[in-house]
Each structure stands twice: as C-alpha cells, then as structure tokens.
Amino acid sequence: MSTVRMSEYLRRDIVKKFEDSHQTSNPKMELDETRGDAIYNRYIGPKVEAAKEAMREHLGDIVDPDAMFSKTSHLTCLVPINHTSTSHAYEDEEMTSATELSEDYRMSVPLSTERAVPMGVSTSSYSSSMEHLQYVFNRYEDADLNYLCECVEYNSKIASQRDIASHKVNMLLLKFTTLNQAIKAWPALSKLVEPEKLAKVHEKQQRKRKQEQQKEMADQVVVDNDLNKTILTASLIGDE
C-alpha cells in the first residue's frame, strides 16, 4: 500500500517543480521600465508634442490633435536579437539548443506610465491599433535599448537551459516505475515531491528497516540456539 507509482501525473508534477526550482536559482532579468521611459523621452515624446502643436496650428479647426494619438504602457520595437531556442525531433531524443540572429525581433519595452504615441494602423477589426505600431531603432547606438536587448537575450538563453534540464529530468523519471525507486537512485528528488507522497515512501522504508532488524534478531536466536538443526533433524526422521 505504501508504494507510490510513478504515474504520468506525478512525473509531470515533479518536472514542473524542478522547472520552478531552476527559475528560482536562475531568475530572469526584468526589463527596467525606466529604460523604456528614457527611450520614449529620447525618440518619441518630443515629436509627439511637436506634432500636436503643428496640428493645432494647421488643422485645429478640422481635427482634434489629441484624437490622433493613443496611450500605451509599452513600446513595440523591432530590433536585432540573438535568440536561443530548443528543439528535439522525438520525445525520447536529447534536446538541443541553438542561438540564431533574429534581425527583426518584436520586443515589448515596458513604460512606467502610459504615454502618448501616434495611432497605428490596425490590420484587424479585432486588434488594437497599438498592436501594429512598431518602432525601429538601432540597439547598438542606444545604451538603454541595447541593455534591454541583452536582457531578452539572457532570458532566452536561461529559458533554453531550463527546457533542456527539465527534459533530462523527465527522461530520467521515465526509467522508474515507482517513486521509491527514483528517490533511492536520486535522493535530492525528495525535495520536489509532495509531503504526503514522500510520507508513503518513508513509511515503506521504515517498514523495510524494521523487517531487516527483525530478521537479524531471528537469525541471531536461530544461530545461537541451533534451531535450524533441530527442525532439519526432525524433518529427516519424519521422512524415514
């Protein structure tokens, strides 16, 4: 009753907990909102105000300048990124990673507050116009943008390492039919197991240790009192 089967659900739960542990040990770099603010203030903010002023001067009696702009809490930038990804043909194969240059990577740059930007052109009636408004900057000529790009590159590399490691954990767990076997082979695995399932494993281990102790005690009594000889002799006499 105390044997815990290595079910698909249990295996997936352990793999998920391993991924969480990997993420805790290797936290991703958060995109700094102040960097996004600096990019907006450098390239977009001044032009927005200048455009509004020009529209007020030349088209103020026809259109509302403010209506030509929207507000957003992020900027979508097209930048070159060295993106790392993982792949494998079949589930039982080794997972591999590769880093490739993506010339027009669509990166979302967070802003600390909503800022005014020109209205984009929506390609779908179900999409916000802002989703299709993209800015193209040279990352290598802007320290703030380059830093954010490095964060994205680092995060993709860490995510790739996590995918490969979790795949190896999953493949290892597939070699065991019970949790008891897996923990015996890999003791640190116990830190990824729910307490109630771990308690069942310990219960069986304790029962096994008790059985071994009882056998040692019985063996000692049998040897000391030559009990096996008595039983064997009686059996031989009976056979005659």
Q: For residues 235 and 130, state if they share a domain.
A: no
Q: What's 61's DSSP letter?
A: T
Is 1 a residue whose pLDDT tops 50?
no
* Residue at 187 is within a domain: no
- Verify that 133 and 207 share a domain, yes or no: no
Domain boundary among 142, 176, 210: 176
- Domain membership flag for residue 116: yes
Pair 65, 164 in one domain: yes
Q: Is residue 123 part of a domain?
A: yes
Same domain, 85 and 140: yes
Count of domains for the chain? 2
Highest mean pLDDT among 123-132, 144-153, 206-215: 144-153
What count of other Cβ atoms lies within 10 Å of the Cβ of residue 69?
Answer: 17
Name the residue range of residue 207's domain: 195-239
Strands (E), the chain: 69-87, 96-118, 134-136
pLDDT of residue 125: 44
Asked, for residue 184, whether it belongs to a domain, the answer is no
Tell me, yes or no, whether 76 lies in a domain. Answer: yes
120 and 213 co-located in one domain: no
Q: Domain check: are 215 and 120 in the same one?
A: no
Separation between Cα atoms, residue 143 and residue 152, nearest integer Å: 14
Q: Are 131 and 92 within one domain? A: yes
For the segment 153-209, what is each residue's pLDDT rounded down to a tens digit? 999 999 999 999 999 999 999 999 999 889 889 989 999 998 888 887 766 556 666
Q: Is 70 exceeded by the pLDDT of residue 86?
A: yes
Shared domain check, 144 and 100: yes
**Residues 103-127, mean pLDDT to the nearest whole number:** 77
Instruction: Clarify whether residues 213 and 115 are in a common domain.
Output: no
Confidence of residue 68 (pLDDT cuts 50, 70, 90): confident
pTM attached to this predicted model:
0.73
Nearest CA-CA partner of 34 in 119, 143, 139, 107: 143
What is residue 211's predicted lDDT score, i.e. its pLDDT? 59
pLDDT in the model for residue 205:
59
